[in-house]
Structure 1
Amino acid sequence: MPIIQELDNLRLYKCTTRGYQLRWTNKAGEKFRQQVPADLQGEAQALRYAIEKDPLVKYGLLEKDNKCKPLKEHVSEYYALLDQQVLNYKLGDKYADKIRPARRDCVVSHIKLHILPTLGDLPINMIEPVEIGNLQDDLRQKMLPQTVNPIIGTLSRMLKFFIKKGYIRSNPCRDIDPLRKVDTDPRYTPTKHEVERVINHLDGWKKTMVMLAAGTGLRISEILALEWSNVRGDTISVEASAVKTNIGTPKTKHSRRKVRVDSRLKVRLQEMRLQSTSTFLFLNSNGRLFSSVDVLNRVLYPAIEKADVPKFGFHGLRRFYENELESQGVMKDHIQRLMGHEIGSKVTDKHYRVVRQEEVLLDDYVIEVGV
């Protein structure tokens, strides 16, 4: 960035993306930066503006007018925006910007755990691409690129918000390329024998929950949001999801669906209903909704350890369900409807279908040629 003019107390710079800027260091060694107003972006006008402001720097008067505080002092304004978007979501506002409560929690964790510790003390108008690049590099040492990119995305949205507030003129994140995603090992999909071994090490509501996940392919968030009004005989209606104990709409519009359960699971649900005094099927001892992490650590993982089978999560049971339907010859569009996928979506095959070597060898795929 070339220096256009160096005055007694400040320097006038020209940035290729942000235009003319004033920069100076006060007696305490603190660095400041101020954008030349948009209507004074000609070189002669910017120089005249710098000359007018130069005496103010000497007495510390210009920095008092600087609206840009450290990022950590502006972040409460962004939190307020997120809270408003959550409220819009809860009110069902059709046209306003909105986010789910769980998404807000995720964004706040990005800010508190990763962004503020590195950039929190910098004035927002002094956050440059080099600082963001360093943050990206530091995060890359600790996590996968596909985890780093959303954190940088959160920072970018914060800076866009500050542009709208008039604090800064441009977003330095636009000069940072997202990291290329890396392939990870596919998560394990259990066999029917392994699922049955796990279920045999469970009882009560825990057994019912795992049978429900394996026998219907429901997401764990959908299971945790089930109310007794959603259960009619052997049919379950998926109408909501529970993410971090917050009840909301299902993942997509295609997630609203009905699935049937087998006779054994139907009986277990009927027995649970007779004993239940709650609206929901599954609540903890305090009468509150479980989180997915709770049931993973308290229900599924202990049973997997006792059954001595490879470790998998509730989504592994969802993949198991898809593969069982596929092996039974169920039509692909029916499978997608049962799983809450859009008809024709490639997600079903790409992320769920598993073809095991031993299954291929069991089939009579032998071609005879010649004499």
Structure 2
Amino acid sequence: MRLRKIFIKFSIFIVGIAVMDLALSQVAKRAAPQWRNGVLEKEARILVSPYHHGFKPYADFIHKYGYLRSPLYTNSLGFRDASPREVSLKRKGRRLLIIGDSITEGVGIPYEKTFAGLIDKTLQKDRIETLNAGVQSYAHQIYYTKVVHFLDKRNLEVSDVAVFVDIGDVANDVTQYKTDENGNVVRVNINCRYGIGCRYRAMKRFKFWLKDNSILYRSYKVLKAWRREKSSRLKADPLAAATNIPGARWTFLDEEYQEYGIEGLKVAEKVMTKLSDFLAKRKIGLTVVVYPWPDQIVKRDLDSRQVLFWRDWAERNNAGFLNLFPAFIDQRPAEEVYRKYFIPYDNHFNEQGHEMVAARFLAQFKR
């Protein structure tokens, strides 16, 4: 009898804690800036047919990337911008459309200090408008589908397009995305572990729900992530942590080139040639930009498969080509280049990296 009373009291206590936790979390989601911004960012990154995913229009939140925080706004098109502004589909003069993946989106960096933002600010002086359609986890199939969607279906007018192709795009085109019979970009496997468009198992969905609705569970996850990040940084130097990344080594490792590089480049050539033909019919200029990841810098992969492929492709398709590999791979030690241009322990550009990319692009674009 006594044990039964203890069990009942304990159960009431646990239920009370759970109810208080859930109730307070609803307040915290609306009042606590970090929690609210996490919810806002999750809501802002959406599935969009036919190009798979992007930002919702007029998003406004503080973007969190590791230890970095930066405001993130999108305009009426769902493109990252300096403010949540209305963008006319009609162009008044020359208009440049930039597209790429997370590096082009500018993860962790304020818009005005990303290369897209710096290009935007500089070209405004010449009355040239710049739009940035880049979003993390993109691929060549998405570049083609998204540009065609906005120009053909949404009637967006542009005079120039610049595609910043990423080292990781080749793997993404094989392992992450495919184009279905209706021309929609979809996941190769919707039971993927992480990302927009993945169909998670019930337990994982429940954990996501807890993270959004429980102060106790969220605190546990934050502490666990902090300890894991701190531990990993103690075990590895920044450059080592940013190299040997899946999807990066196909440019210099034959086994990875055979595994997904050959097929990925076939997909890239097919869809980018379709994009080139589409733009040529509308007399819209196209430029392809290539840049290395830390893996290529360490290996001094200057004449990379990435460079050779896109240089040849650009020549055959009368497209502009900007090779940024020499800007990162020169007589300087890889460690020095990495410290100067990249976020520590990461393969994305820091502010200096974005500044250098913008300067190189503008030097060619304004000629």
State the TM-score, normalized to the length of structure 1: 0.22
Structure with the largest fraction of strand? 2
| Max Rg structure | 1
State the TM-score, normalized to the length of structure 2: 0.22
Higher relative contact order (CA 8 A, sep 6+): 2
